Amino acid sequence: MTVFKTYCKVLTKCKWPILLYTVILIFFSAFNTQNNDTSTMFSATRPKIHIINLDENSDVSKHFITYLNDHSDIIDFDSEEAVSDALFYHKISCVITIPKNFGEDFYQGKDVHIDIKSTKDYQGSLIEMMLERYVKVATAYVSIFDDHHDLFQAIDQTLATEVETSIASSLDSDSLNKAALYFNFSNYCLVAGCVFVICMILTSFKSDHIRKRTIISSLNYKKYNRQLLLSNGVFTFVLWLFYIVLSILLVGNAMFTLHGLLYMLNSFVFAFCSLCLAFLIANLVKNKEAINGIVNVLALGSSFLCGAFVPMEMLPEGVLKAAHVLPSYWFIKNNETLKTLETLNTDTLQPIFINMLVIFAFSCLFIIISNIIAKKKRKIN
Amino acid sequence: MHNYRYTLKTLFKNRMMIFWTFAFPIILGTLFHLAFSNLEESEQLNTMPIAIVDNMEFQSNEALVSAFTAMSDETSEDPLFTIQYVDEEKAKALLKDEEIIGYVFVDASTHVMIKNNGVEQTVFKLICEEIIQSNEMINTMIEEKMAQVGNMHITDPTAMIEQIKQDVMERMQEETSYLNDTSSEHMSYVVIEFYTLIAMACLYGGMLGMFAVNCKLANMSHHGKRVAVSPTAKGKLIFTSVLAGYTAQLVGIALLFAFLVGVLHIDFGDNLPLITLLALVGSFAGLTIGIAIATLVKSNENMKAGIFIALTMLGCFLSGMMGVTMKYVVDTNLPFVNRINPAGLITDGFYALYYYETLDRYTMDMIALLLFSFVMIFISMFQLRRQRYDSI
Amino acid sequence: MEPVIEVKNLTKEYKKLKAVNDLSFEVQKGEILGLLGPNGSGKSTTINCILSLLKFSKGSIRIFGQEMKPNAYDIKRKIGVVFQEVAVFDELSVYDNIDYFCGLYVKDKKQRRQYIEDAIQLVGLEDFKKFLPKQLSGGLLRRLNIACGIAHKPSLIFLDEPTVAVDPQSRNNILDGIKTLRDQGATIVYTTHYMEEVELLCDRVIIIDKGQILASGTNDELKALANMEEKVTIETKHLRKEQFDYLQSLPNVLEATYQAHQLVIVYRQGNHNLSHLMEYFKQEQIQYDRMYSQRPTLNDVFLKLTGKELRD
């Protein structure tokens, strides 16, 4: 118990970094669960655009704007600079300029063009498709319809033709997405938090003077090591539990489904792996300052390379291949797979469990290596 | 000179400091590069696997058949679709196993079945719509033409209909665009990440100045006491120390720039002198923060470094390091925050150089940065003027 | 002759606490002045005030006849300070460290090189020039700390507890070095709470407690304050009550105790106390194991003045 008590006392000195990582986690999750719709859920949202109409008097440009208004959100800004900024930061998908004489040229059958500044992303492409389609239909019809009213009606009618779309999936993909996002990001916090705190505490316990003092004390050294190990285990468990509670608060009821439980299990296995990694690093490095650097590089590195910050499918293939050597990769891969699993049975879950086994294998590897190192070091002393 | 040389030597030999100010930004830059390099490219479409339920209705719809054949032409450079023609059962099975993103089913009308909402699915749906709409166009035009010419004698109605069909199909497939794309070439918002990185490096560099000054203040360090009892003027010592810090800082920034431009090929725009100037002023701002913290915060070095890093990270966070959107949100909702946030100002300066054609915004950023630096220096001077202390 | 340091009515207050209270003393050229006092007695504060690092509430300080100010660079050039804390750059080697601090005083490179060599020789670090501070043992580090402070050959040196936590060999080395410096003509102010060092080294001693001077003077003058000359200890198991009473009643005896087979007799004065005692023991045929005589220590003086031991 003495060891555990001291452990807790040293732990309280580390409360700031833990708090920091947690705040970052909450902030990032909250921020991203609000903003992730841009890339993956795009049909649900209407693209946002800005229109500069230099041909205000023609009815065709008015009709054009009405059409755009039906399919997108038109946003106005105070200044030109604000428009440019909004476009750059993908707040709007494009800026459309209807040129002067647009109406005149249109009715005379001349070639018409619409100026567009686009973000070149999906939403931008969507808007471009909509524009192209309108102009194609309108220029085709203008040669046939004489009456403007009939023309617009025909255009509307044609453009309103839609295909019936059915969505086959019944998954609550929204909250599962959120959960996956949260747990992916928790990779950073688990690695950083766990490794940082454990290394800090272990270096304190293992610093030469204290170690000598412990060895000469009446406490059985093996028992002492076991207690230290147990304390670290308890700390990791509490940290994990804390992040799980947080996930329930942020993601909601979805965490109580089978999917949610699998997410928890997955992160538990990974938390254990972080613990082992922390042991390894604590055995390798003695300098407290160096640990700070190593933890940051390790946590940020694994998070970036394995897709904790940027969705996995957007990473270059080479990076993903290289990421296979990191346990984080398997952890995040599991999160991503879980998101899309519709039915959960032994067949579909098999890859999930295999990935967990891989993470576990990493943990064992870390333990073995750190034991070898620890033994070598003891001999030298 | 003596102090300058040795301060420089001390700074370069401090491994932790060199790691944080030199290596860390470069490591982070590499990570950014690895993680983001595909971000914008992957927003372009790949070939999508789909299925079509091969029934009577589909085969009899000429427009659909020809359009899908055209779009899955394997000889073309990048076909939109790879298509499997299967029966409905098989299509459902394929969709379930995620072998395809969706399938088309034609009966009286045309149906698109997808598994979930997504980018590719939406594009798929839109393309199907376009095909149907061109069909609709043909019909509308034929009807209208017939109505117009109804009273007249037509020599060859089928030829006319064929003509219209031909016209529309050509129109739909023609490559010429009605859009005049005037988008800026400099649209990559990922570069903002790298700009915040430079901002971070500039500010982190201030730590060097902080430590350099810290060693010269009697109330901050033991070394400082030694220095204080020596006959060298304090102002001169501080100045040379700061200069040494700045030199080290600039070496770091130069390395980072060389790495970003030479290895990662990050685009900074073309105005090299102004970019350099911004980096110089940005580093200077970082330096002044360092000096201010060194003189104002009476605590040990670790605490100071902690405060410094926390402040810098907060600044970088607000200027978009952890998500470019953050910068926009802050810029539009709380503009004054990024006006006094040096990281925001540096980032914004680079952004202005990269994206804007005029220099107004860049100039504003520079002025704000300089102003910020002078305020910091003023505050520090106030503290530095003291020669004797109440307690050490 | 004009004193090197002249401190008058120095008072320094930290909020309510008076760290230094109305302190006045002088240091003469060429002497080693010991400032002796327990931890927290105000020794370091006094030195910091003299060096004009600290503001003080009252009093005046003159060094070499001039008022000491933070920008009195001419005075500062002649002063060398070795602080209690080891203040060296971890990143610089032994040689570079000394060069840096010496360079703050001496601009001429050639001369400086000579000075550094001298300093290294003085503290005996010849074999460690290229070493980094963290590669040095505690004692060697202290020596480096001293070398950094005195390399520019100052004529006035402040040494603030330079021997705290130092192994005996290094301590002897340090003390020898200080003597050498004095022999070269430097004036030295030396603070410590080790009275042995003061006794060994100092020409004059000031005893400080709670920011005030309790006593000052040469070793002998101070010891006279203790109002005793000699302390004789005899280990014996066979002393009878009446014999003890007789010894106690002898003239010059200030105090006598007999406890745990140990007889301690403190004499006020007198020259042949020990031989008289031996004669008495022979005459009475009292067997004894050992008999020895001690001169009074500064600790005895301190004990006498404050009623407490110098070291707690």
**Residue B375: CB atoms within 10 Å:** 13
What strand order describes the sheet that includes C204-209? C79-82, C156-160, C187-192, C32-36, C204-209, C212-217
Report the chain B residue with the minimal C-alpha distance to residue C76: B231
The residue among A131, A160, A189 that closes a domain is A160
A305-359 residue pLDDT tens: 888 877 777 788 888 888 889 999 999 988 888 887 777 788 888 888 999 999 9
In this model, does residue B325 exceed pLDDT 80? no
Q: Name the token pair of B215.
A: 């060693």
- B187-227 pLDDT, tens per residue? 777 788 888 889 999 998 888 888 888 888 887 788 888 88
Q: What is the pLDDT of residue A130?
A: 81
Neighbours of A163 (CB within 10 A): 21
Surface of C (131-170) touching B: CB under 8 A: 148-149
Q: Is the pLDDT of residue B172 over 80?
A: no
Task: pLDDT band for B102, please (50, 70, 90 cuts).
Answer: confident
Across the range C15-38, mean pLDDT stands at 87
Residues C217 and C261 in one domain: no
The model's pTM = 0.77
Number of Cβ atoms within 10 Å of the Cβ of A179: 28
In this prediction, residue B82 carries a pLDDT of 81
**Closest to B25 (Cα-Cα) out of B163, B204, B147:** B204
Same structural domain, A95 and A199: no
Q: What is the pLDDT of residue B278?
A: 92
> Does residue C312 register a pLDDT over 60?
no
Provide the residue type at B382 as one letter.
F
Distances (CA, A) of C226 to B92, C211, C312: 108, 21, 20
- Residue A37: predicted pLDDT: 44
Domain span at residue C268?
227-295
At residue B42, the pLDDT reads 56
Give C-chain residues touching B244 at CB under 8 angstroms: none
What dotted CATH number matches B45-173? 3.40.190
Phi and psi at residue C287, to the nearest 5°: -80, 140
- Neighbouring residues of B322: CB distance < 8 A, sequence distance ≥ 6: A24, A28, B316
| pLDDT tens, position by position, C158-168 | 998 888 878 88
Picking from A86-100, A154-168, C233-247, which range would have the lowest pLDDT averaged per residue? A154-168
Query: Which positions in chain A touch B321 (Cβ < 8 Å)?
Result: none
Q: How far apart are CA A124 and CA B141, in angstroms?
A: 30
d(CA A322, CA A324): 5
pLDDT in tens, C39-68: 888 888 898 888 888 888 888 999 998 888
Contact at CB, B115 and A114, closer than 8 angstroms: no
Quote the minimal CA–CA distance from B1 to chain C in Å.
Answer: 10
Report the helix count and the strand count for chain C, using DSSP H and E.
Answer: 11, 14
The minimum CA-CA distance between C135 and chain B, rounded to whole Å, is 15
Q: Answer yes or no: is C88 within a domain.
A: yes
Residue A186, phi-psi category: left (phi > 0), alpha (psi -120 to 50), beta (remainder): alpha
Q: What is the CATH number of the domain that holds C126?
A: 3.40.50.300
Tokens of A291: 């640990």
Q: Tokens representing B368?
A: 């704000």
pLDDT tops 60 at residue A39: no
Residue C194 lies in a domain: yes
Q: Which residues of A touch B133 (CB under 8 A)?
A: 133, 137, 158-159, 161
Q: In 3D, which of B244, B223, B236 has the Cα closest to residue C101?
A: B223
Nearest to B13 among C71, C91, C105 (CB): C91
Residue of B181, B338, B357, B364 best to disrupt the A interface, most CBs of A under 10 A:
B181
Sign of CA dihedral B101, B102, B103, B104: negative
Residue carrying structure tokens 């590719």: B120
Q: What is the ipTM of this complex?
A: 0.74
- Whether pLDDT at C115 is above 80: yes
Cβ of C104 within 8 Å of Cβ of B387? The answer is no
Contacts of C20 in chain B (CB under 8 A): none
Residue-number span of the structural domain to which A119 is assigned: 42-160
pLDDT-derived band of residue A38, with 50, 70 and 90 as boundaries?
very low
Q: What is the least distance, in Å, from the CA of B215 to any CA of chain C? A: 9
Is residue A40 very low, low, confident or very high in pLDDT (cuts 50, 70, 90)? very low
Spatial contact of B41 and B57, defined as CB atoms under 8 Å apart: no
The pLDDT of residue B141 is 78
Q: Is residue C204 domain-shared with residue C145, that is, in the same domain?
A: yes
Q: Are residues C140 and C155 located together in one domain of the fold?
A: yes
Q: What is the pLDDT of residues C151-191, one digit of tens each?
A: 988 999 999 888 887 888 888 888 888 888 889 889 999 98
Question: Which of B15-19, B143-147, C95-99 has the weakest average pLDDT?
Answer: B143-147
Question: Do residues C153 and C288 both lie within one domain?
Answer: no
Q: Looking at the partner chain, which of B223, B228, B237 has a beta carbon nearest the beta carbon of C53?
A: B228
- A65 plus A201 within the same structural domain: no
Q: Are B183 and A120 in contact (CB under 8 A)?
A: yes
**pLDDT tens digits for range B34-68:** 887 766 665 556 678 888 888 888 887 777 787 78
Strand C230-235 to C262-267 pairing: antiparallel
Instruction: State the pLDDT at residue A270.
Output: 93
Same domain, residue pair C143 and C268: no
- Compute the average pLDDT of residues A21-37: 65
Closest CA–CA distance from residue B14 to any residue of chain A (Å)? 11
Residue C161 has a pLDDT of 86
Residues C209 and C275 grouped into a single domain: no
- Touch between chain A and chain C: 3 or more Cβ pairs under 8 Å: no
Burial (0-12, 13-18, 19+ Cβ within 10 Å), C3: middle
Give one DSSP letter per residue of B115-126, joined into a string: SS--HHHHHHHH
CB-based contact, A340 to chain B, within 8 Å:
yes
Q: Among B2, B11, B387, whose Cβ lies nearest the Cβ of C103?
A: B2
Q: How many residues does chain C have?
A: 312
Of A114, A117, A158, the CB nearest to B137: A158
Query: How many domains does one find in chain A?
Result: 2
Q: Which of A27, A47, A28 is nearest to A37 (CA)?
A: A47
Instruction: List, for residues A184-196, the tens digit of each pLDDT value.
Output: 888 888 888 888 8
Q: What's C75's DSSP letter? A: H
Look at residue B76 and tell me whether its pLDDT is greater than 70: no
- Is residue C228 within 8 A of residue C235, CB to CB? The reply is no
Residue C23 has pLDDT above 60, yes or no: yes
Please report the sign of the dihedral spanned by the C-alpha atoms of residue A301, residue A307, residue A311, residue A313: positive
Would you state the pLDDT for residue B95? 79
pLDDT value for C117? 93
Q: Within a 10 A sphere around the Cβ of A84, how many other Cβ atoms?
A: 18
My answer on whether A26 and A48 are in the same domain is no
B27 vs A213, more confident: B27
Closest approach of A115 to chain B, Cα-based (Å) = 5
Which residues sit opposite C265 in a β-bridge?
C232, C256
- Which residue of chain A comes nearest to B93, CA vs CA? A168
The verdict on A53 and A143 lying in the same domain is yes
The per-residue pLDDT of chain C, averaged, comes to: 85
Q: Do C101 and B226 touch (CB under 8 A)?
A: yes
Span C264-277, mean pLDDT?
A: 79
What is the C-alpha to C-alpha distance for residues C86 and A284, in angstroms, rounded to an integer?
30
Task: Single out the residue in A133, A160, A187 at which a domain terminates.
Answer: A160
Does C131 reside within a domain?
yes
Determine the Cα–Cα distance for residues C92 and C100; give it in Å rounded to an integer.
Answer: 9
Chain B residues touching C86 at Cβ < 8 A? 222
Question: Is residue C200 located within the same domain as residue C288?
Answer: no
Domain ranges within chain B, ordered by starting residue: 2-39+188-384, 45-173
Q: Please determine, for residue A41, whether its predicted confidence score (pLDDT) is greater than 50.
A: no
Per-residue confidence (pLDDT) for residue A42, from 0 to 100:
42
pLDDT over 90, % of chain A: 9
Q: Which residues pair with B105 in a beta bridge?
A: B111
Q: What is the mean pLDDT of chain A?
A: 80
Same domain flag for A200 and A239: yes
Residues A143 and A217 in one domain: no
Output Rg (C-alpha) for chain C, integer angstroms: 24
**What whole-number percentage of chain B has pLDDT above 90?**
15
